[in-house]
Amino acid sequence: MGRRLIGLYSPFADPVTRAKQLTAMMYGINGHIADRAEVARITHGEHRWTEAEIDEVLDNLHAVIARAEEEKRRREEPVADYMGLARDWHAMRVEQGTELNDRDWRILTRTTKHEYTEEERALIESGD
């Protein structure tokens, strides 16, 4: 293994840890996701990876990236049932013996990506 990777990579770690280490190396050193040839070049040395190991790491890496992209897309997407979410939040506050306050409305607005009108706020707070 090349001297520049000492401390960054352990060829004997479990596949998930190896994928994380490889991701750190690839983003940190190269600034992009590499292909199989680049992975083989980066991980050359005493413990040469087999093609199956490289494929496993790349599959794990691409799965992690796909999950992260899906999570990002989901977080950026507005909540369809913003009124239902606000009603649930209001019901939780009523159970606690309080009412919705400005902080609650800011949280709801940020969470649902919907700016509640005064009419919607009044409707939710009335319990209808």
The structure tokens listed for 55 are 């494929």
At 55, the amino acid letter reads D
Q: Is the pTM of this model over 0.85?
A: no
The domain ranges of the chain are 3-76, 82-126
Angstrom distance (rounded) from CA 82 to CA 88:
10
Listing DSSP states for 81-101 in one string gives THHHHHHHHHHHHHHTT----
Per-residue pLDDT tens digits of the chain, which is 128 residues long? 444 444 555 666 666 666 667 666 666 555 555 567 776 776 666 567 778 877 887 787 778 777 877 877 877 777 788 899 899 999 999 999 999 999 999 999 988 888 999 999 999 988 76
